[in-house]
């Protein structure tokens, strides 16, 4: 079962929390994605809404991999296994925490706009997120609520993996979840619309939440469009879920082909992500509006993802990318179109590794917050024009990109997005990265006057109707 969007998930979650009506409840949404869900819960329970701000502590050389989380009032939750695995020193941990602490304080101020925090003394604190993956952030949020005086803490989410309760320890008194599907790789796979939530949308939810002391009808739900929604219009003509052949395995993907497409971009996501990545989906929508087709697919099968070493096996990921490209070129809908690669995090290394293969014919490569250094043995063989996009505040990864750029012998550029951290979560930064990628691909993905016609393969995706 998939939720239509976060508002739909919030309404379904609220139905599981009706036993709390009439109690002294405060609903606390985890920014950003948990707040639209919490908005619906607070509305249904007639409870006040606030945010509970926490920040993930990312491993310095792989920021998307969390080694813990921090919250307000100095709360910190650490994953000692990840810290030991990464050989993270006390100084490195302190540096990451200091940076994330500054961001935590900025966000708390931004969201509340000077409003006082909802007092939790003696209340039931209902901590809400849009889903549970590792659980470290949710645990930190529950501990923050407890430290602020909550008499009871309830953690409520629309979706979580099986056995998620064991990860929460004793940080919550009650755990509520709508669904716990067996096949779980990413939260976004259970949402039809999982567009990123912006700071402005979080603030709007808080401002429009119905005050408990006021009678009358509840406030209307707040729409949650993705960032830069004005730049993303009608869907492409073909936009279908597909099953992609890559050697001996078949991988789930989403293929979008606008009418008169001038090229197609294959997305390689980073570790801990999937084809449902809201950031990559947003970039894909921007490319579609520029008449570029896109293919987002899962690099690994669910069983393969369970073995953590596969996520960092750049050679394996590159072979999958090469196999998927071969499949794509055999499809009637995309045969003859120039192909580009868009990689994020470790996916960028896989994209460069695959592009370096003799005869790959890749027309362009773009890396967003990527790790091109992981493809260092192949960088000198890349012939495709390559753009490296890095956040100005992503210090470690920016340094690694500069070192990797020195190893490239093709046309290349490094674009720094001011104010952006690794995940481009800051307002306007993801839009800036998407537009840089769009401009690079439209410049370099030029159809050949003698397109190669693919043979065999399944039928093309059906044309969208309605």
pLDDT of 87 strictly over 50: yes
Which domains are assigned to the chain? 6-208 (3.40.50.2020), 233-444 (3.40.50.1820)
Q: Label residue 337 exposed, middle or buried (CB < 10 Å: 0-12, 13-18, 19+).
A: buried
Q: Is the dihedral of CA 26, 30, 34, 35 positive or negative?
A: positive
pLDDT tens sequence across 92-111? 998 888 888 888 888 888 88
Please compute, for residue 145, the number of CA atoms within 13 A of its CA located in the half-sphere on the CB side: 31
b or e along 129-146 (b: 16 or more beta carbons within 10 Å of the residue's beta carbon)?
bbbbbbbbbbbbbbbbbb
pLDDT of 412 strictly over 80: yes
Q: What is the mean pLDDT of the chain?
A: 84
Mean of the pLDDT values across residues 98-125? 84
Mean of the pLDDT values across residues 106-127? 84
pLDDT tens sequence across 215-272? 233 333 323 223 333 334 444 455 578 888 887 888 888 899 988 899 999 999 876 6
CA 155 to chain centre: 22
pLDDT tens sequence across 311-340? 778 999 999 999 999 999 999 889 999 999
Report d(CA 332, CA 330) in Å as an integer.
6
How much is the pLDDT for 411? 96
pLDDT of 25 strictly over 70: yes
Mean of the pLDDT values across residues 43-54? 92
How much is the pLDDT for 212? 52
Interior angle at CA 272, CA 353 and CA 392, nearest 5: 70
Six-digit token string for 330: 């055999």
Six-digit token string for 355: 């592009």
* Portion of the chain with pLDDT greater than 70, in percent: 87
How much is the pLDDT for 17? 95
Report d(CA 377, CA 400) in Å as an integer.
14
């Amino acid at each position: 079962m998939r939720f239509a969007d976060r508002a739909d998930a919030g309404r379904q979650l609220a139905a599981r929390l009706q036993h709390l009506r009439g109690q002294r409840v405060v609903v606390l949404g985890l920014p950003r994605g948990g707040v639209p869900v919490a908005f619906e819960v607070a509305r249904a329970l007639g409870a006040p809404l606030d945010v509970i701000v926490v920040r993930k502590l990312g491993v310095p050389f792989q920021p998307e991999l969390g080694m813990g989380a921090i919250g307000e009032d100095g709360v910190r939750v650490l994953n000692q296994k990840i810290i030991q695995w990464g050989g993270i020193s006390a100084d490195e941990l302190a540096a990451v925490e200091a940076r994330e602490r500054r961001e935590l304080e900025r966000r708390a101020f931004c969201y509340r706009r000077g409003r006082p925090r909802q007092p939790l003394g003696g209340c039931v604190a209902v901590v809400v997120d849009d889903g549970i993956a590792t659980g470290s952030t949710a645990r930190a949020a529950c501990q923050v609520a407890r430290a602020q005086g909550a008499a009871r803490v309830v953690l409520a989410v629309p979706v979580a993996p099986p056995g998620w309760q064991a990860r929460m320890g004793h940080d919550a008194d009650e755990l509520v979840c709508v669904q716990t599907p067996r096949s779980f790789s990413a939260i976004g796979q259970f949402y039809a619309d999982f567009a990123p939530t912006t700071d402005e949308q979080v603030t709007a939810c808080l401002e429009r939440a119905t005050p408990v002391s006021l009678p009358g009808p509840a406030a209307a739900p707040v729409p949650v469009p993705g960032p830069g929604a004005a730049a993303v219009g009608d869907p492409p003509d073909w936009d279908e879920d597909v099953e992609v052949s890559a050697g001996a395995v078949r991988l789930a993907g989403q293929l979008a082909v606008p009418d008169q497409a001038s090229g197609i971009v294959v997305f390689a996501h980073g570790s801990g992500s999937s084809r449902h990545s809201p950031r990559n989906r947003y970039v894909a929508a921007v490319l579609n509006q520029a008449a570029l087709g896109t293919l987002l697919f899962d690099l690994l099968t669910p069983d393969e993802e369970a073995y953590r070493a596969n996520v960092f096996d750049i050679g394996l990921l590159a072979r999958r990318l090469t196999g998927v490209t071969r499949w794509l070129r055999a499809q009637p809908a995309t045969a003859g179109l120039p192909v580009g690669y868009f990689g994020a995090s470790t996916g960028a290394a896989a994209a460069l590794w695959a592009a370096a293969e003799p005869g790959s014919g890749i027309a362009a490569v773009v890396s967003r917050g990527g790790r091109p250094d992981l493809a260092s043995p192949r960088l000198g063989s890349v012939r495709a024009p390559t753009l490296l996009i890095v956040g100005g505040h992503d210090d470690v990864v920016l340094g690694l990109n500069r070192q990797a750029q020195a190893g490239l012998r093709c046309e290349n550029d490094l674009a720094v997005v001011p104010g952006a951290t690794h995940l481009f979560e800051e307002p306007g930064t993801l839009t800036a990265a998407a537009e840089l990628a769009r401009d690079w691909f439209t410049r370099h993905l030029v159809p050949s006057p003698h397109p190669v016609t693919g043979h065999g393969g399944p039928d093309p995706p059906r044309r969208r109707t309605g």
